[in-house]
Amino acid sequence: MPTARRHFVSAPRTAVLFLFFCLACGAVENPYLAVVEKMAGAVGFYSENGRELGRVNVGPFPHEAALSSDRRTLYVSDNGVLWMTENSNGTNMISVIDVPGMRKVKDISLGEFHRPHGIALIPHSTELLATMERPFALVRVDPNSGRVLRVYDIKGKSPHMVIPSPDGARAFVSDTDSNCVAVVDLKTGAVRLITTGARPQGAVLSPDGRRLYVVNTNGNTISIIDTASLEVVGTIATGKGPGRIAITPNGKTLVYNLQFEPGVGFADVATRKQIAEIPLSGRPLSLTMTRDGKRAFAGIQNQDKVCFISVHERRITRILQLPKGSGPDPSIPLN
C-alpha cells in the first residue's frame, strides 16, 4: 500500500508540474496578436495580456501582412525600405509564416518586382495580390508554387494598399501619388481610375460590399466610393493624416489612425461626420481591428508601442511595450 500510495500521489504532481512548465514556456497558449515589427525585420507573436510568445525574422523593413482564411498562415510583404518616399529598390520577397508554429516556412520571390507593400488574399482563392513600388504594379501570386501569375498595370503612381472585392473579381488599389483609386478587373486586366482626395492610402469595404471608404492622408478626408457605379458619392472630413481604416461589423462606425494629430478618429457612417477622437502619445502608422469590432490596434513605430483601443468605449485599454527598436506597423488579430 505505501508503494501504491506513492505512485498515486506522484502522478498528479507530475501532471501539474508539466502543465506549469507548458504555461511558463507558452506551449499551450495560442498567440493573440501578430505584430509586424518594421524596424526589427521581424514578426512578434503576443498573448492578449502582452507577453511575447515567439518571434520570427523576416526580410528587411516588412510593411503589411495578410492572414489566410483559416488563420494558420501569415503572408508578410518584405518591402526593404523604411519609407515609401525613399529612392531605393528594396527587396522582392514575401515571407510565409506558419502561425500555430510561429515559424517562417518559406520565401516567395517576386523576381523583377521590388518593394511589395499592400497585400491581400483573393476571396474564394488561395492566391495573393500585392502592390509593387519598383516598378509600379499589382501582381497576382500563387503562394503554393511561389510564382507570379499575372502583372496588372494600375495606371498610376505609388500603388499602396489593395482591397479585393468580396467576389474576387476586382481589386481596388490606392495610387497614392496619383490621388486616385485604380479599379482592376482581375480577369481582363481592365482598369478604371477614380479620383479621390490627396494621397489616398488605406481603405475598407462596408460589410455589404456596396461602399469603399478610402482615407486621404494629405486631404484629411475619407472618400466614399459606390462599388457599383464606381463613383465618389460622399466625403467625410477627419483629423490630420488618416492612413489606415477599419469598420465595425454593423457598418455603422469607421475607425482610423491620425498620423499628424496624433490620435485615432471615429466617424459615423450615417451622418458622415467625425464623432470622436482620442489622443495618442506618438504618431500611429497603423490601425487594425478584431473581427467582432470590439478592439482596435494602433502601432506607434517610433515609441515601440501598440495601443489596444476599446471601440465601444473609445479609450485606450492597454499599451503593449515592444522590445526597443521593434518599430511596429500593423498588428494582425489572430483570434
User: What digits encode the pLDDT tens for the residues 163-210?
Assistant: 999 999 999 999 999 999 999 999 999 999 999 999 999 999 999 999
Please count the structural domains in the chain: 1
Domain containing residue 134: CATH number:
2.130.10.10
Which residues on neighbouring strands pair with residue 221, listed in sequence order? 216, 237
- Using pLDDT thresholds of 50, 70 and 90, give the confidence band for residue 82: confident
Q: What is the pLDDT of residue 9?
A: 34
User: What digits encode the pLDDT tens for the residues 89-136?
Assistant: 999 999 999 999 999 999 999 999 999 999 999 999 999 999 999 999
270 domain residue, yes or no: yes
Burial code of 173-208, b = ≥16 C-beta within 10 A, e = fewer?
bbbbebbbbbbbebeeeebebbebbebbbbbbbbee
User: What digits encode the pLDDT tens for the residues 205-236?
Assistant: 999 999 999 999 999 999 999 999 999 999 99
Q: Find, among 26, 104, 96, the residue nearest to 67 by Cα.
A: 96
Q: Find, among 183, 95, 80, the residue nearest to 134 by Cα.
A: 80
Q: What is the pLDDT of residue 315?
A: 98
130 domain residue, yes or no: yes
C-alpha angle 91-326-45 in degrees, rounded to nearest 5 = 95
Q: What is the pLDDT of residue 8?
A: 31
User: What digits encode the pLDDT tens for the residues 246-263?
Assistant: 999 999 999 999 999 999
C-alpha grid cell for residue 152? 496588372
**Cβ atoms 84, 158 nearer than 8 A:** yes
164 domain residue, yes or no: yes
Q: What share of the chain is helix, strand, coil (3-state, %, to 5)?
A: 10, 50, 40
Q: What is the pLDDT of residue 213?
A: 99
Residue showing cell 528594396: 90
Q: What is the pLDDT of residue 28?
A: 56
Q: What is the pLDDT of residue 49?
A: 93
Range of the domain at 98: 33-333
User: What digits encode the pLDDT tens for the residues 249-304?
Assistant: 999 999 999 999 999 999 999 999 999 999 999 999 999 999 999 999 999 999 99
211 domain residue, yes or no: yes
- Using pLDDT thresholds of 50, 70 and 90, give the confidence band for residue 313: very high
Q: What is the pLDDT of residue 7?
A: 34
Q: What is the pLDDT of residue 6?
A: 34
6 domain residue, yes or no: no
14 domain residue, yes or no: no
Sheet holding 211-216, edge to edge: 200-205, 211-216, 221-226, 231-237
User: What digits encode the pLDDT tens for the residues 1-55?
Assistant: 333 333 333 333 433 344 344 445 545 589 999 999 999 999 999 999 999 999 9
What's the rounded Cα separation, in Å, for the pair 215 and 331? 19
Neighbour tally for 60: CB within 10 Å: 16
What's the rounded Cα separation, in Å, for the pair 271 and 233? 13
- What is the total residue count of the chain? 335
107 domain residue, yes or no: yes
The letter for the amino acid at 231 is E
28 domain residue, yes or no: no
- Supply the pTM of this predicted model: 0.91
C-alpha grid cell for residue 335? 483570434
Q: What is the pLDDT of residue 1?
A: 37
Which residues on neighbouring strands pair with residue 182, listed in sequence order? 173, 193
Query: 252: Cβ–Cβ under 8 A, 6 or more apart, which residues?
Result: 268, 269, 270
Segment 304-309 shows an average pLDDT of 98
